Structure 1
Amino acid sequence: MARPKIVVVGGGFAGAECLHRLERRLGPAEADLLLVTPTDYQLYLPLLPHVAAGVLTPQSVAVSLRRRLRRTRLLPGAAIGVDVHAKVCVVRKTTGEVLDVPYDQLVLTAGSTTRTFDIPGLSQYALGMKTLAQAAYLRDHVIAQLDLAAVTQDAAERDARLRFVVVGGGYAGTETAACLQRLTTAAARRYPRLDPALIEWHLIDVAPKLLPELGEKLGAKAMMMLRRRGVEFSLGTSVSSVEATCVTLTDGRVLPTHTLIWTAGVKASPLVDTLSTETLRGRLVATPELTVPGIDSVLAAGDAAAVPDLAKGGDAVTPPTAQHAQRQGKVLADNVVARLHGRPLKPYYHRDLGLVVDLGGKDAVSKPLGVELSGVPAQAVARGYHVLSLPTVTARTRVLVNWALNATAGDDFVRTGFQAGRPARLQDFEQTEAYLSTDQIAHHERPQARRTG
């Protein structure tokens, strides 16, 4: 009898954790394990702002999947559609070849993409912070603005290049603004012709408060820390249009700038739409057991799935955080094994351990187990949490060494040019235009697809 084929889509927190546990729970003869992922690493997303700021090297947050997964086959590509009736996952390999990958059990942990709105110019000019390539591009871009500002004779151009706008007052936006502000402040010392006082960082969010998930007190402390460093806030407002050299806000103000960093939330992977099943605010509706109602062969978790939060009574769904995704990955594996062995599935239940926000240096706010901390104690908790959450000893060592090296030797503020010459649009980095439509799935209109075992 052929071994059942388990296909996992996405090598993020949920997918990697699921496969790591499956390798321990299932023998080689019990199932074939296949991971569909465009990269051969698991990105530790919470530390991406540190990469953009040059505090960590890209390799530090790119945890090798082949180091963690010894028996799983890696298919380098992206799942662009799912035919649940034929039990086929449509994959576009990194070479462009399209494959029909059959499965017995499909685990959807496709993650999320940057959430955008129909704002004129946003798709053309906004820079994101969702992938490793985007972080590398953003670092080069910010340093390039300093280089160009230092040589221009045009005062208006200098002001625009030294003004940086970040949209999004959540964790990603706040940490990105904080870390990059420290980068430009430190780098300005290497530019004798630049007045550091001319460098401006603006953090914009439609919400009336910063970091509302942490509560009013810690959000206010985070604002105080960043204001002390010169960051300006525009809360209760948003962006109405974007051009190559300026951003117009909904309150009518126009900010001349060459840098708009967009971190205003995430949305589920477009892969979810190809299943033609129920969604909740764009996320695939899942049961507490991480199954998809009406589709026996599919399980889902992570950012792409709306999983009932049983710790809060089940009326709400778990937020799209790394903490939940990682723990859901373990339950996914247990339930896949339970299905194969004909045992009952278990529900996902996890009480949030707390939240941490690293603002760089000695600045941080955190709320572990409901205890509100700020400053050095919060920074110790934040960095300790990240080190312990990294899945391999090698990754932990790299991060610790990088932090120590940056604290003692500083940064050289060089542009690597790794991403030079490529389109910088959000949809180009995140490949959001590559997915099939439901009509293409229904009518099997898959371009030059071939079936693979």
Structure 2
Amino acid sequence: MPTPRVVIVGAGFAGYNVARLLERRLRRGQAQLKIIAPHGYSLYQPLLPEVAAGVLDPRSIAGPLHRMLRRTQLVPGKATGVDLAARTVEVDMIDGSVKAVPYDRLVLCPGSVTRTFDIPGLKEHAHGMKNLAEAVYMRDHVIAQLELASATDDAAERAARLGFLVVGGGYSGVETAANLHLLTLNAMRRFPRLDPDLLSWTLIDLAPRLLPELGERLGDVAMAKLRRRGIDIRLRVSLKSLTADSAEMTDGRVLPTRTVIWTAGVTPAPVVATLDRPTEKGRLVVGADLRLPGHPEVFALGDAAAVPDLARGDGAICPPTAQHATRQARAVAHNVAASLTGREPRPYHHRDLGMVVDLGGPQAVARPLGVPLTGVPAQAVTRGYHLSTVPSLRAKARVMGDWLLHSLAGDDLIRLGFLDTRTGRQVDLEHSVPDQDARVSGSRSAGKDSARRGDRVTHAG
């Protein structure tokens, strides 16, 4: 009997952990393990804002798959389609060729891309904060704006270059605004020609509250801390249009800016839509055992799957968070191994561990196990959580060393040259397509997704 082929699509929290755990659960010869990923690393996305702010080196949050996985073969490419009948995954390899990868068990966890909308100028002028390239590019871009503002004598240009707008009041948007604001605030001392009062940071969100996942009290605490630091937070406001040097809000105000960072939600990777299976908000509908109905050989988790939330009940689905992706990986690894060894699968059931939000410097807000924390204690919990979940001992050591070095020496404000070779557009740095929403909404996906697709704009930042 041929050795079963287990193919994992994606190397994020979910994919990497599934591969790691399967290596432990399955003996040599029980299965061939392959992981499809465009890069040879597993990225720890929650710390991207600290990379953009120069607190962490980019390599510190990128765990090398070649070192961390011993028996899993890396297929360097991007999954672009799944043929359920033929049991193959179509992969665009990094050299431009196309390869069909056969499977006996398929684990789908390709992650997500930034969700965008038909806002004039958004795709041409906004930047994302979803991957390492975007974080490194954003650091170069922000430092360049300070340098160019210092070099110009045009008041309007200077105001636009010193104006920064973050769209989205969730975890990613708040941490991005908080960390990059500190970077610019500290950097202004290096530019004597610039008036610190001209520095402008604005955070907008269509929701009535900031960080609603944290609860009303901690969300208000975070908002108060950021406002005292100088960040203008505007709720129930979204972006109406964007040009190269200005942004118009839905409340009629126009902000001079050359920097708009879009963090208003994510949508599953386009490969999910090629399965022609029922979806919920773009995510594949799966059972509590994380299997695709009608295809017990296919498992989906993380941002790609609408997994029943058994802890909440009433038809709720698990939110697409790193915490859920990591835990779902354990359940999927168990169930894949069980399917190969004749054992029973188990459902995914979780207990919420809470949430942590880094506000830059010594400031943070956290709710570990339901206990609200702010300030230094919250920052200690936040950094402790990140250290416990960053993949590999090497990455943990790098992160700790970077934190220590930055606290002692500060920032060197060095640009790495990304502005010379990249457009900086979200669609380019995430390797997605400009009309991704149209492609997904026009795909063959069925179920509730088609009815709800048009409502997504109401949740934009």
> 1:440 Cα deviation (Å)?
11
Rounded to whole Å, the distance in 1 between the matches of 2:420 and 2:375 is 37
Rounded to whole Å, the distance in 2 between the matches of 1:194 and 1:256 is 17
Give the match's secondary structure for 2:240. Answer: strand
Contact 1:136–1:419 (8 Å) recurs in 2? no
Rounded to whole Å, the distance in 1 between the matches of 2:442 and 2:377 is 54
> 1:363 Cα deviation (Å)?
1.1
Contact 1:174–1:359 (8 Å) recurs in 2? yes
Equivalent residue letter for 2:217: K
Give aligned-pair identity as a percent. Answer: 57
Q: 1:429 — aligned with what? A: 429
Mean alpha-carbon deviation: is it higher for 310-319 or for 87-96? 310-319
Rounded to whole Å, the distance in 1 between the matches of 2:440 and 2:284 is 16
Alignment of 1:222-237 (within 5 A): 222-237=222-237
Give the match's secondary structure for 2:127. Answer: coil
Deviations 1:139-158 (A, max 9, x none): 00000000000010101110
Q: 2:317 — aligned with what? A: 317
Q: 1:113 — aligned with what? A: 113
Q: 1:451 — aligned with what? A: none
Contact 1:308–1:314 (8 Å) recurs in 2? no
Deviations 1:321-355 (A, max 9, x none): 11110111111111001111122110011111000
Give the match's secondary structure for 1:312. Answer: coil
Specify whether residues 386 and 361 from structure 1 end up closer, same or farther in structure 2 by C-alpha distance, changes over 3 A only: same
Deviations 1:211-250 (A, max 9, x none): 0111111111101111111000111010011111110111
Deviations 1:291-317 (A, max 9, x none): 011222210000111101111126211
> 1:196 Cα deviation (Å)?
1.2
Q: Which runs of 5+ in 1 are unaligned?
A: 442-453
Q: 1:176 — aligned with what? A: 176
Deviations 1:238-296 (A, max 9, x none): 00111111101111111111000000011111111000000001111111100011222
Give the match's secondary structure for 2:117. Answer: coil
> 1:433 Cα deviation (Å)?
2.7
Task: Tell whether 2:130 aligns with 1:123.
Answer: no
Give the match's secondary structure for 1:149. Answer: helix
CA-based RMSD: 1.7
Rounded to whole Å, the distance in 2 between the matches of 1:431 and 1:163 is 27
Equivalent residue letter for 1:272: V
Rounded to whole Å, the distance in 2 between the matches of 1:177 and 1:439 is 34
> 1:438 Cα deviation (Å)?
12
Give the match's secondary structure for 2:2. Answer: coil
Q: 1:368 — aligned with what? A: 368
Q: 1:221 — aligned with what? A: 221
Mean alpha-carbon deviation: is it higher for 419-428 or for 110-119? 419-428
Give the match's secondary structure for 1:357. Answer: strand
> 1:64 Cα deviation (Å)?
1.2
Q: 2:212 — aligned with what? A: 212
Rounded to whole Å, the distance in 2 between the matches of 1:440 and 1:367 is 39
Q: 1:447 — aligned with what? A: none
Contact 1:204–1:237 (8 Å) recurs in 2? yes
Rounded to whole Å, the distance in 2 between the matches of 1:160 and 1:419 is 18
Contact 2:270–2:440 (8 Å) recurs in 1? no
Q: 1:26 — aligned with what? A: 26
Specify whether residues 355 and 139 from structure 1 end up closer, same or farther in structure 2 by C-alpha distance, changes over 3 A only: same
Equivalent residue letter for 2:38: P
Q: 1:6 — aligned with what? A: 6
Contact 1:133–1:419 (8 Å) recurs in 2? no
Equivalent residue letter for 1:265: G
Give the match's secondary structure for 1:176. Answer: helix
Specify whether residues 243 and 395 from structure 1 end up closer, same or farther in structure 2 by C-alpha distance, changes over 3 A only: same
Task: Tell whether 2:2 aligns with 1:37.
Answer: no
TM-score if structure 2 supplies the norm length?
Answer: 0.94
How many residues align? The count is 442
Deviations 1:39-72 (A, max 9, x none): 1111100000000000000001001112210010
Equivalent residue letter for 2:359: L
Q: 1:445 — aligned with what? A: none
Rounded to whole Å, the distance in 2 between the matches of 1:273 and 1:406 is 42
Task: Tell whether 2:247 aligns with 1:252.
Answer: no
Specify whether residues 35 and 438 from structure 1 end up closer, same or farther in structure 2 by C-alpha distance, changes over 3 A only: farther
Equivalent residue letter for 2:16: A
Alignment of 1:287-306 (within 5 A): 287-306=287-306
Rounded to whole Å, the distance in 2 between the matches of 1:147 and 1:332 is 49
Rounded to whole Å, the distance in 2 between the matches of 1:306 and 1:278 is 10
Q: Which runs of 5+ in 2 are unaligned?
A: 445-461
Rounded to whole Å, the distance in 2 between the matches of 1:420 and 1:60 is 24
Contact 2:18–2:333 (8 Å) recurs in 1? yes
Give the match's secondary structure for 2:422. Answer: coil
Deviations 1:340-389 (A, max 9, x none): 11221100111110000000112110000101111111111101110111
Task: Tell whether 2:381 aligns with 1:389.
Answer: no
Contact 2:44–2:391 (8 Å) recurs in 1? no
Equivalent residue letter for 1:230: G
